[in-house]
Amino acid sequence: MSADHDIPGVVAYGKGRGEYTLPCGYVDGAGKVHNTIILRETTGAEEDILDDDQLSTTERITRVLSGCCERLGEITDKGLIQRAIGDRLEKDEGLPCSQADRMAMMLFLRRTTNGDRYHLPEAQRTCPHCKGKNNPMHVDLDKDIEIKHAKDPTKRRVQFKLPRKGLLAVMRVLSASGEESLTKLMRGNNRKNLRTLAILARLESIGDTNLRADDFKSVDLVKRLSSVDRNYIREVYNKVEGAIDTELEISCEKVACGLEWKTEIDIGQVFFSPQAVEITEADLEWI
C-alpha cells in the first residue's frame, strides 16, 4: 500500500486501511465522543478467530474488531479500545460502543479488507416461490447499505410514551454485554421469540413494570404489545443507538414468476468468506 493511504482524513476502501465514522461511538469519562475509527485489513489471525467455535459469537467479534482497530477517535491504547468495543469499561472510563457501532465496524472491516463489492450468496437470491436461481447479484457496500447515526451518543437511556398503550417506557442502548445475553437467550426454541427478545434486551420498563429478558412474564407482556407499539419501540432504539439497514429488495428474474421479496445481508462469519479471485496461467510461474 502506498504512503498516500496514510494521509490523515483520506478514506481508502479495499486498500488495507480505512477511516470511517461510527453511528454512535465511544464516549470517554469526560464526555467526549470518539466516533471515528481507523481499521486495518484482516489477516489469518482474524480468520482463525472467526472460526473458533470455542468462543462465543460476541467474543469473536470483539477480538477481531479490537485487533484490527488502530485508532478509535483519539484513542490508540489497545486495552481501552478492546474494553470500549467489548463493553468491559472500568469505572469512570465512560460509555461503550453500541451494537450498531459493532455492526458498522464489521461492515467497514469487510470493505477495508475486500472492497465495496459483495457477492450475494446463492441461497439469498434463490426465489422462495419458484426456487429459481437468479443471476449473480453484487451489492455495493458503500451505496446500498444505509447507516443512521445516533442523535446524541452521550445519552444511553431514553423515556418515551407508547402510542397505543399510552404508558411510559424506558429503553437503554444495546452494547456487547446485552448482545451476549441476547445470543444466549435465543438458543433453542427461543429463536421463535427473536423479535420480542430483541426489544426486551433494550427495554427496562413499561409503566410500573420492570422487565427482564429472561422472565416469562416480561416476554409475554412484550409479545402482547400491538404492532404499532412494537414498531415505535424499534424506531426509538434506531434513533438513539444508530442503525444499519442491511435489508435488500429482490425481484425474481423468471417472467412467469416475478415475485418480489426481501432479504438481509448477514454481517457475520459468512460475510467475511473469501470472494472468488480470477487467476490465470500468466500469474503463475511453474518451477
Distances, alpha carbon 248 to alpha carbons 17, 40, 141, 217, in Å: 27, 27, 11, 35
DSSP symbol at 249: E
Q: Is residue 29 part of a domain?
A: yes
Q: How many CB atoms lie within 10 A of CB 130?
A: 13
**Is residue 146 included in any domain, yes or no?**
no
Report if residue 262 sits inside a domain. Answer: no
Mean pLDDT of the 216-225 span:
94
The CATH number of whichever domain residue 223 belongs to comes to 3.30.2220
Residue 232 predicted with pLDDT over 50 = yes
Degrees (nearest 5) of the Cα angle 217, 191, 216? 10
Domain for residue 216, yes or no?
yes
Confidence at residue 9, expressed as pLDDT on a 0 to 100 scale: 43
pLDDT greater than 50 at residue 6: no
* Overall average pLDDT of the 204-228 stretch: 94
Q: pTM to 2 decimals?
A: 0.85
Last residue of a domain, one of 95, 115, 135: 115
Q: 76 with 179, same domain?
A: no
What is residue 195's predicted lDDT score, i.e. its pLDDT?
87
| 12 shares a domain with 111 | yes
Question: Rounded to whole angstroms, how far apart are CA atoms 105 and 38?
Answer: 10
Q: Look at residue 256 and tell me if it is in a domain.
A: no
Which candidate, 65, 80, 236, places its Cα nearest to that of 150?
236
What type of residue sits at position 229?
A: D
Cell numbers found for residue 75? 484513542
Residue 134 domain flag: no
- Shared-domain flag, residues 108 and 11: yes
41 vs 14, 118, 184, CA distance in Å?
8, 16, 29
Residues 164 and 82 in one domain: no
Q: What is the pLDDT of residue 3?
A: 36
Taking only the tens place, the pLDDT of each residue in 247-279 is 888 889 888 898 998 888 888 766 777 666 677
When comparing pLDDT for 132 and 95, which is higher? Answer: 95
Expressed as residue numbers, the domain containing 236 is 157-241
> CA-to-CA distance for 50 and 103, rounded, in angstroms?
15
Question: What pLDDT was estimated at residue 188?
Answer: 60
Number of compact structural domains in the chain: 2
pLDDT, residue 7, reads 39
Mean pLDDT to the nearest integer, 17-21: 93
Percent of the chain surpassing pLDDT 70: 91
Does residue 95 share a domain with residue 42? yes
88 with 12, same domain: the answer is yes
| pLDDT attached to residue 190 | 61
Give the mean pLDDT of 168-172.
97
Q: Considering the domain boundaries, does residue 211 fall inside one?
A: yes
Does 89 share its domain with 164?
no
pLDDT in tens, 29-68: 999 999 999 999 999 999 999 999 999 989 999 999 999 9
The answer, yes or no, to whether residue 2 has pLDDT greater than 70, is no
pLDDT (average), residues 83-110: 96
Instruction: Judge if 7 and 95 occupy the same domain.
Output: yes
Residue 143 clears pLDDT 70, i.e. is over it: yes
236 and 167 in a common domain: yes
Are 12 and 85 in a shared domain?
Answer: yes
Residues 111 and 39 grouped into a single domain: yes
Q: With CA atoms as reference, report the closest residue to 103 among 142, 68, 62.
A: 62
Same domain, 94 and 25: yes
Note whether residue 169 is domain-resident. yes
